[in-house]
Structure formats: C-alpha cells, structure tokens
Amino acid sequence: MDEKEIESWIKLIRVLSHEIMNSIAPITSLSDTLLTLYEDKDVPDSDIRSNAISGLHVISETSKGLVSFVESYRKFTRIPTPTRELFNVSEFIQGTKGSWDSSTMEIKDLAGNVVWKYDYEAEKANFKQTDPYTLEHVNWINSIRGNKPLQQASETAISNMAAIMGRESAYSGAETTWDAMTASPLDYTPKDLNLGKMDMSTFTVPVPGKPRDQNK
C-alpha cells in the first residue's frame, strides 16, 4: 500500500511540475523580452507599448490557465470526510411468505420469526473441511487420482433452470413448476434487434404474489 501511495505521489508531482513549467516558461521568456525592450533606448515608445500590451495579454491568459489547473487539484483537498456506516450487501430474498438472508443464513416468516437456520455446529461435527473453495480442489484432485471424471454439466443445467424458475415466479407472481418451465416457449429476445425507440407501454411492472395478467 505504501509503495502504491508513493508511486501515486511521484506521478502527481511529475504532472504538476510539467504543467507548471509549461506555463511559467513563456511568462519568464516574455518578461525578459519586455524588460530588454524597455531598457533599450533605441526602441521607440510606440513599439514598447504595442509589444508590452501583446506580451501582457499572453501572460494574463497563461496565468489564468495555470490558476485554473492548480485550482482543480486544490478541490481534492476540500472533499469532505465520508461518513462511515455499515451497509449489508449480502444476498436477500423477500417472498410472499417470508424472507431469506445469506448473511445470517436464516429464513424468516413475515412476522420476523426464524423458521429455519443453517446448522453450523452440525457442519463442523460432520465434516473436517467446510471451505467450499478447498473442497472444490480436493474433489478435483481425487477425481484425477481415482480416474473418475467430474461431470458437472447436468448440475449446472439444473442449477440454471432452478434460477430461471425463481426469476419467473418473482416476475410473474405466480407459482412455477419444473415441468411447466421445461416445456415453456419462453423467449426474452426482442423481436426487433435494431437500435432505436421502443414502445414500453406493453411492458408491465411485476408485482410479487400477483400474476402478470392481473398487474394492469
């Protein structure tokens, strides 16, 4: 972390130095030129005046650009300190009869009573290893050593279909069965794939517990 912070500071200093030098260099050069013209007695006053006006305009614009650049970096130091608070980002499912919270591994009814909770103590008593990522590698190595190929395509398909069932039940507000989903002609692909305006009036907002044809 410290190395990254130092690297970031070095990059910032390089950018600041580059931009400041790009602005200071022409200001310094013009100042020297105008000073030389003013000290030269052979240069007419009219020439000194015209060159001074042009040079001062350039110095003014360059200075304003430099001030704007520095001000943009100063704003970072004025960002207020964020207020920290706990925020649950775990998976949460709300149904018509209760809810599921992955942070507590509990199912509660609508009154807030716990009707089911994952038994971590039983898991520890029955299994020596419970980390899913470790178990995944254990199964993989055992399948290689035992010459027993792992076939997870069907598990993946079943898991995906179960997720689709849950989605359709939540979106439609109606009970969904396995047989109904496997025989369903469901297709969410838009009929017109061309980019442009779409009539959204035909789409209704799903209401949990209320079939789609009753949402109107």
Tokens of 171: 């979106």
* 115 neighbors 99 (Cβ within 8 angstroms): no
Q: What is the pLDDT of residue 179?
A: 92
Q: Which two tokens stand for residue 2?
A: 């410290």
User: Taking CA 61 as the corner, what is the angle to CA 58 and CA 66, rounded to the nearest 5 degrees?
Assistant: 120
The candidate with the shortest Cα–Cα distance to 115, out of 134, 136, 131, 101, is: 101
Is residue 56 within 8 Å of residue 96, measured between CB atoms? no
Give the position of tokens 């970031």.
8
Closest CA to 51 of 40, 63, 38, 39: 38
User: How long is the chain?
Assistant: 216
Looking at residue 209, what is its pLDDT? 62
The predicted pLDDT at position 216 comes to: 46
Q: Which residue has the tokens 């920290």?
A: 84
Looking up tokens 């520890």 gives: 124
Residue 89 has what pLDDT?
A: 65
Burial class (CB in 10 A: 0-12, 13-18, 19+), 2: exposed
Neighbours of 63 (CB within 10 A): 13
Q: Report which residue type is found at 171.
A: Y
Give me the sign of the Cα torsion angle 164, 169, 170, 172: positive
In whole angstroms, what is the distance from residue 188 CA to residue 85 CA? 39
Assign 3-state DSSP to the chain and report helix, strand, coil percentages, each to 5.
Answer: 55, 10, 35
Other beta carbons within 10 Å of 23:
19
Residue with tokens 């419970």: 130
Q: How high is the pLDDT of residue 111? A: 93
pLDDT digits (tens), the chain, 216 positions:
567 777 777 777 787 777 777 777 777 877 887 778 777 777 787 777 787 787 787 788 878 877 887 777 777 667 677 788 776 767 888 888 899 898 889 999 999 999 999 998 998 888 888 888 888 888 888 888 898 888 888 889 999 999 988 888 877 778 889 998 889 888 777 777 777 777 777 776 666 666 665 544
